[in-house]
Amino acid sequence: MKIYLSVRKGQQSKKNAEKGKPKMNSLFLMYHNEETKKRTYEFLRLYLYDKPKNFLEKEHNKETEQLAEAIRAQKILDIQSRKHGFVSSVNGKIGFLEYFKLMVEKKSDSNGNYGNWLSTLKHLTNFCKGNDIQLSKVDDTFLESFKIYLLTNKISSRNGKLSQNSALSYFNKVRTSLKEAYQTKMIAENPINRVKGIKEKESNRQYLTLDELQKLVKTDCDYPIMKDAFIFSSLTGLRFSDIKSLKWKNITYDSQNGYIIKFTQQKTKGVENLPISEQAIRIIGERKHDDDFVFSSLIYSAYHNKILHKWIEKAGIDKHITFHCARHSFATLQLTMNIDIYTVSKLLGHRHLKTTEIYAKVIDKKKINAVANMPDLNL
């Protein structure tokens, strides 16, 4: 890998020219992989005067070029260190909050995960009270303290503190970030290996029965497209993020396999081929252009969540239902109809069967309740 320092000539806008602002050029690094012949670029956000007119502007250019060369030299050192199995001491000096923020930015294109990473960053910032800590100095004491903070502090205005599973989710984001830092040789060891994780608490997943879904189909909703998307999710098991990003080109048909949705999960990035029923196809209506979104104007917010609750209540259903409960409903209905758990796991796009087993426990509870509610036979 070779790294070159280059300059991109800037284009001065007419507005800036009229204001007398000087034309600036941008410095960037070009990474040339000699094996693959591929080139990548990294802009340094450093700028040079295109035509320096005085001593100050010339000095600015000189010092900026020296800084850019120092950055290039450090990049070369980092690459060589990783190549020979060494950990760069300079990389470890980056602030942990700063490093985690970069991780969050990487997740910005992930609808299903970005919000969770962003929330973790906010909790980390509050925990550190705005004072950053070097990445290389994050140890088991720091992590144990953060874990206690998540589990015990009143950091959620809704119910006083975070749920145990929310704390687990946030702590796992920190785990992932440290694992990547270790794998990219930014730190010499991974301190998370010395810290016990937060145990997942079995949650009471809310779902709708077949009878309740039929009631919803017959009940009008003030936001019709959300009603269609919710029922579609109940029939396919798709998450909201996957439904929102679904395009017509993702839906194919052949006489042997019927309708198939080919898509990449927004949350896991797993590539899926999901068979869907003609009933689900009837919900989405007439096919449009391949690059059009199937649910083009679908939005989900706190306001739309209220509309959803109003629709549920109007149907005579006394349950706290969110959009994601449609996916739960699909899973429990499949298991109730004696579809094997492995098949249901594949339909939901789960990576691990353990995740699907949560729904199997829901079905077991239904069986227990059914036996408990047997009428008295007056024996």
User: In the chain, how many domains are there?
Assistant: 3
Asked whether residue 95 falls in the same domain as residue 137, the answer is yes
β-strand partners of 48: 25
Entry field: residues in the chain:
379
Asked whether residue 74 falls in the same domain as residue 132, the answer is no
Residue 205 counted as domain residue: no
Asked whether residue 230 falls in the same domain as residue 360, the answer is yes
The rounded distance, in Å, linking the Cα atoms of 266 and 379 is 56
The rounded distance, in Å, linking the Cα atoms of 232 and 255 is 22
β-strand partners of 274: 261
**Residue that terminates a domain, selected from 35, 60, 83:** 83
Host H or E run for residue 254: strand 251-254
Residue 7 counted as domain residue: yes
Q: Which domain holds residue 348?
A: 210-371
Asked whether residue 111 falls in the same domain as residue 260, the answer is no
Residue 316 counted as domain residue: yes
SS3 of 64-98: the string is: HHHHHHHHHHHHHHHHHHHHCCCCCCCHHHCEHHH
Residue 300: what pLDDT? Answer: 78
3-state secondary structure at position 55: helix
CATH number, domain containing residue 107: 1.10.150.130
In the sheet that holds 251-254, the strands lie side by side as 251-254, 258-264, 271-276
3-state secondary structure at position 317: coil
Asked whether residue 140 falls in the same domain as residue 254, the answer is no
Residue 202 counted as domain residue: no
Residue 213: what pLDDT? Answer: 93
Asked whether residue 77 falls in the same domain as residue 125, the answer is no
Residue 204 counted as domain residue: no
Local mean pLDDT, 10-residue blocks, the chain (379 residues): 81 64 88 84 89 91 91 78 56 82 79 78 91 91 93 64 86 93 85 89 76 94 94 91 90 88 74 85 91 89 89 93 90 83 81 73 57 52
**Residue that terminates a domain, selected from 83, 107, 141:** 83
Residue 157: what pLDDT? Answer: 46
Asked whether residue 105 falls in the same domain as residue 226, the answer is no
3-state secondary structure at position 294: coil
CB neighbours of residue 241 within 10 Å: 17
Residue 200 counted as domain residue: no
Asked whether residue 183 falls in the same domain as residue 137, the answer is yes
Asked whether residue 45 falls in the same domain as residue 22, the answer is yes
Q: How far is CA 201 from CA 135, 167, 174, 348, in A?
A: 30, 10, 19, 21
Under DSSP, the state recorded for 295 is T
In this structure, are residues 295 and 229 in contact, taking their beta carbons and an 8 Å threshold? Answer: yes
**Residue that terminates a domain, selected from 194, 228, 258:** 194
Residue 39: what pLDDT? Answer: 87
**Side chain identity at residue 157, one-letter code:** S
Residue 249: what pLDDT? Answer: 93
Whole-model pTM: value is 0.55
Closest CA to 31 of 13, 4, 50: 4
**CB-based contacts of 197: which residues, under 8 Å, 6+ apart?**
168, 171, 172, 175
Asked whether residue 57 falls in the same domain as residue 135, the answer is no
Residue 11: what pLDDT? Answer: 64
DSSP 172-201: HHHHHHHHHHHHTTSSSS-GGGGS--PPPP
Residue with tokens 């992989």: 33
